[in-house]
Amino acid sequence: MVGRNILGKDRVGVCVIGLGIGLQHAQAYSGMERVDLFVCDTNAARVESARRELKVAGAFATIDAALSSSSVDAVDVSLPNSLHGPIAMAAAKNKKDCLVEKPVAISVAEAGRMWDASQSEGVLLAAGENWQFSAFNLKAAEIIRSGQIGRVFLTSVLSEMWPIYFDRNSWWFDKKMTGGGVLLSAGVHAIRTLRMLAPSEITSVYALASNSALGTETEDTCVMTTQFADGSIGSIIASWATPHDDALFRVHGSKGSIINRREGGLSVRSNVPNSELETKVEVDQVNTIAEECAAFVDSVRNGRVDKRIEFEGGRRDVEVAEAAYRSVATGQAVKLPLS
């Protein structure tokens, strides 16, 4: 696809729509060469703060104004989950390339409509999942693929993110705005990690969920187990109500294990009998959001989406979450892909 929006242009105009988590995206674009940063938020105080702190070429009080501006070539949508689909489709109609923050949609069906709109209008549609750029995830995946820990039989990911004390009127607790609770809004990071580390594709999902800890409309805790095509199994524990745990993920193979700890980083443990031999793996950390945003700008310039932010990856993350919710509702394992 030809990057029609920037043909003949030296600079790329990127508008960040939503300055919640989007502020970190705006910070990344602000430091890039030959990028003009625009911001859009209905909260005037957020806009003025961004103007003071960042190199902002312009600001918009409404999404319509941002999408209709000839100065804007691409948009970064960092809004509540339920708005991702409508705004991405509106961006397509206005011929704007688009990066959508995770989760890319609140359902697989909506993700399909977003994709169809982008293809119909000939614009780029990308998924913003910064954990795809995690140096720990990437290094662990490299070790797994090398065969160092042998045949993987169990992959476990923890998404105990923080004891969440948002105002109960926050959109985070509004099911219409989120499309789900901790699993879709935050645990989708764990889903991406699980998919990066696992040796094959997920073929079925079984899940349990509860809102008994916080009493919110959506689930505050979810436990999900998965079966992979090669017969191995995986698990995710996602909760907004628990204190931090040290281990972020563990991958167990026939020759050893890989462990990523919140404190201590990545290590490999050997399966030598009667031994607790564990070797620390040095990893050069990166700013994952900055890497994600740079990949998007390069995609816009090249007229081709970087593989690391392909929309299909985000759609598949949503598909796993949707399968989990179907499992919670039915009490049965749900096969993938969804029909």
**Predicted confidence (pLDDT) at residue 199 exceeds the cutoff of 90:** no
pLDDT band at 6 (very low <50, low <70, confident <90, very high): low
Beta bridge partners of 270: 256
Beta bridge partners of 127: 100
Q: Which residues of 195-217 are buried (b: 16+ CB within 10 A; e: fewer)?
A: bbbbbeebebbbbebebeebebe
- CATH 3.40.50.720 location in the chain: 4-129+289-309
Residue 8 is predicted with a pLDDT of 58
Cβ atoms of residues 186 and 195 within 8 Å: no
Hey, what CATH class is 4-129+289-309 in? alpha beta
Residue identified by tokens 């392909």 is: 310
Mean pLDDT of 12-39: 97
**Predicted confidence (pLDDT) at residue 169 exceeds the cutoff of 90:** no
Helices (H), the chain: 22-30, 44-53, 63-68, 81-93, 108-121, 135-146, 175-178, 182-185, 188-197, 288-302, 311-330
- pTM given for the model: 0.95
More confident call, 247 vs 67: 67
- CATH 3.30.360.10 location in the chain: 132-285+320-335
**Fold annotation for 132-285+320-335:** Dihydrodipicolinate Reductase; domain 2 (3.30.360)
Mean pLDDT of 21-36: 97
- Percent of the chain exceeding pLDDT 90 equals 84
Helix or strand or coil: residue 47? Answer: helix
pLDDT band at 1 (very low <50, low <70, confident <90, very high): very low
pLDDT band at 66 (very low <50, low <70, confident <90, very high): very high
What length does the chain have?
339
**Predicted confidence (pLDDT) at residue 7 exceeds the cutoff of 70:** no
Q: What is the pLDDT of residues 212-232, one digit of tens each?
A: 988 889 999 999 999 999 999
**Predicted confidence (pLDDT) at residue 2 exceeds the cutoff of 60:** no
Dist. CA 163–CA 34, nearest whole Å: 40
Mean pLDDT of 146-165: 84
Residue 4 is predicted with a pLDDT of 54
